[in-house]
Amino acid sequence: MARAATANTTGGEPIPPATVQSVAATSTRRRKPFGTNPEVGERGTETESRILTAALEVFAESGFAASRVELITERSGCSRPAFYQYFSSKDDVFWRLGRRLGRALVDLGRSLGPVGPDAEGVATLTDWMDDFVDLYLEYAAVFEGFQSATRETVGAAQDSSGVAQRLDDALVRAFGVGRTRENRALASVIAAIIYRCTFYWKAMSAVGEFERERLTRGLAFGTHRLFLGPIPGVNVPRRRHRGPVRPVDFDRPGTPTTDPTLRPRGLATRRSLLDAGAQILPTHGYHDARVDDIAELARVSRGSFYRYFEDKDDFFRVLAGEAGDAMIDLLERFPTGDDRDELRTWLNAWFILYDSNGGVITVWQEMQQGGGDLVTYSQQVAAAIVGGLVEMFTRAGHDDPLFDALVLLALIERLPYRTYTLGYETPARAIDAASTTIRRVVMGFDAS
């Protein structure tokens, strides 16, 4: 399967653009050929700041892929020539915001003091999680636009500064555990969960389904359990069910069906197009994937594409349906008991599934910005997955089934992305870290 040419990241979760940008402060300088003095002074600094503020708003409203320089200049009240005095493109603006976020993340890591194996340690961690949520809300558009931005600006992404690594090291240092490869890998995984669960919370809080305190407390408890193990009365609200539970049948959205009149040759052509789309998605993304590219890779004509699919959205809805069904089939078999080997077997199957369907799963978030039926369908799949996991963890006696469902979803969504799309980890090491995290954070078991 084709892989995206993306960042050589140094941290556990690729979402924060700070992981791929220098955190060194830079002065505001005017670009050639606008004047002989490169320093712009107070007025120029104010203009640059106004453009950055406007860009953050535009990225939040439209998403990185759909944002245009014209939208940024209109929002900031400056002309296009004025914009290009300070920035070469919208990508340049994005990565400048990324550097700001990078400095803020480094400061956040430094602010985390020692976390002890007691209620005070959990309280310290909860306050720190609250500070992270503040930072996420301020730079949500940059966090969420990272995947699209790195696809369009590979060179910028490769200039890694190790910001995420510093955040991982801050977590390891705060808990006073050894700076081993295993502990740093666990810090990397929990950072990914923190980022992604905050994204979920932001989406759900818009309709009042998930309170901020519930998020920060849950993340603090889970992170505390990951590094120090379950401690009754400290980081485990109440004892959880220890045995496997009856399997759950997830609700499923309607899956797109194949035209029953298609002959074997037509079915084979349709399959070739879908396989080509799964390869095109990781490298191009949803918005920039073109019908011509898909048809060329499948070795069929553009006209052949439209014999089987109405348009690009219809095509990707079929891809999403296939991937969603496969995901749900496997999630229905998620092992809830205390069996290490069974969990590792399940994780291995999940990573294989992701590898074969990664083109769809990797850009699921981008597809949700496609509009119309595609948005509705992807939301229905996500709701089916979360709902099924909630029911499963409710039966297993979890204290907060919804939170644990989001943690598991964050892990199985992002960790394979790091492994297969970014090539950051080997599958074996990623499965080791995932197994330990699920057992300690989600299931509350004592040992890894």
| pLDDT tens per residue across span 205-226 | 866 778 999 999 999 999 999 9
| pLDDT tens per residue across span 264-281 | 999 999 999 999 988 888
Query: Cβ(12)–Cβ(187) under 8 Å?
Result: yes
Do residue 224 and residue 269 come from a single domain?
no
Identify whether 214 is part of a domain: yes
Do residue 116 and residue 29 come from a single domain?
yes
| pLDDT tens per residue across span 313-356 | 888 888 888 888 888 999 999 998 889 999 999 999 999 998 88
Do residue 36 and residue 129 come from a single domain?
yes
- Rounded to whole angstroms, how far apart are CA atoms 388 and 196? 19
Q: Which of 65-74, 160-169, 247-256, 372-381 has the highest mean pLDDT?
A: 65-74
Query: Hey, is 38 helix, strand or coil?
Result: coil
Do residue 75 and residue 203 come from a single domain?
yes
- Look up the CATH number of the domain holding residue 100: 1.10.357.10
Query: Hey, is 117 helix, strand or coil?
Result: coil
User: Which amino acid appears at position 358 of this protein?
Assistant: G
SS3 labels along 263-291: CHHHHHHHHHHHHHHHHHHHHHHHHHCCH
- Rounded to whole angstroms, how far apart are CA atoms 14 and 30? 31
Confidence of residue 161 (pLDDT cuts 50, 70, 90): very low
Last residue of a domain, one of 397, 417, 439: 397
Number of folded domains that form the chain: 2
Whether residue 227 is predicted with pLDDT greater than 90 in this model: the reply is yes
DSSP string, 182-232: HHHHHHHHHHHHHHHHHHHHHHHHTTT-S-HHHHHHHHHHHHHHHHH---B
Range of the domain at 178: 17-228
Q: What average pLDDT does range 103-132 have in this prediction? A: 96
Last residue of a domain, one of 397, 423, 439: 397
Q: What average pLDDT does range 108-123 have in this prediction? A: 96
| pLDDT tens per residue across span 281-322 | 877 777 778 999 999 999 999 999 999 999 888 888 888 888
Identify whether 405 is part of a domain: no
* Helix boundaries (H) for 11-89: 41-62, 69-76, 80-86
Do residue 58 and residue 196 come from a single domain?
yes
- Rounded to whole angstroms, how far apart are CA atoms 12 and 425? 9
Identify whether 252 is part of a domain: no
Do residue 211 and residue 273 come from a single domain?
no
Query: Cβ(362)–Cβ(283) under 8 Å?
Result: no
Identify whether 448 is part of a domain: no
Identify whether 239 is part of a domain: no
- Rounded to whole angstroms, how far apart are CA atoms 24 and 53? 20
